[in-house]
Amino acid sequence: MNKKTIIATSLAAVFAVSMIFAIGTQQAFANPKGVTPGAKLLGTANVLIHPGEWVGDDIVCPNNGNRIFAADTDTGLLIRIAYLWDPTVNGHTITDCDGTTDRTGEIRVPDQGKSAVYLKLLGPKTSELDVFCTEIVDIGDDENLCLIAYQKLTRSGGWVKFAENAIADGLEGVTFDLVKVDGKVFKHLQIRSYLEP
């Protein structure tokens, strides 16, 4: 091989490796299936079944800030989570993390533009959960904050976009009622907040 052929081959190899790295990096940072491409993750909350009462400060949430605990039940409401777009908060904030006694939890995110809430059921493969979405605070601009009023989540399902705030215009919110399905297991639900393009 002459010098020009060696240089050309070397450059082609460097280019090929660079492209593989670029494609791999792009895939590594891609959103999961079901989440709007280009959306930026604001935060995550994990709703977990806790045996008995959770002992901890309900407001301070000394549990690393991303977990909400619910008590198990045979049937019916496990927990009602208030999800609020709040212009007074900075970042994804869990403001009520203990639903083991009062069956309530609360998440607040900044009201900073178009953002959405996605849910995914995790835990045992036989898990199922009924989720109901209801508007609780709407400043009267006719936004439809709940995109889905009811959905049965299964462990085999992906991310479901449940609610969306299209306009940054003040305090607004929804509730998610997590209801146990008769005879089914529930241990873990993940809630993700995304700022959408």
Domain spans of the chain?
1-30, 36-195
Question: Which residues share a beta bridge with 70?
Answer: 49, 99
What is the pTM for the complete model shown?
0.81
Question: Which residues share a beta bridge with 49?
Answer: 70
Q: Dump pLDDT digits (tens) for 20-75.
A: 444 443 444 689 999 999 999 999 999 999 877 776 666 667 666 689 999 988 88
Best CA proximity match to 80, nearest among 50, 123, 47, 112? 47
pLDDT of residue 23: 41
**Which parts of 29-120 fold into alpha helices (H)?**
none
pLDDT of residue 24: 41
pLDDT of residue 139: 65
The Cα 49–Cα 31 span in angstroms is: 27
The Cα 150–Cα 17 span in angstroms is: 47
Yes or no: say if 139 and 172 are a contact pair by the CB < 8 Å rule.
Answer: yes
pLDDT of residue 166: 86
The Cα 193–Cα 183 span in angstroms is: 30
**What's the token pair of residue 161?**
């976009």
- How crowded is residue 193: how many other Cβ atoms within 10 Å of its Cβ? 24
Residues of the chain with confidence (pLDDT) below 70: 1-29, 55-60, 62-65, 138-142
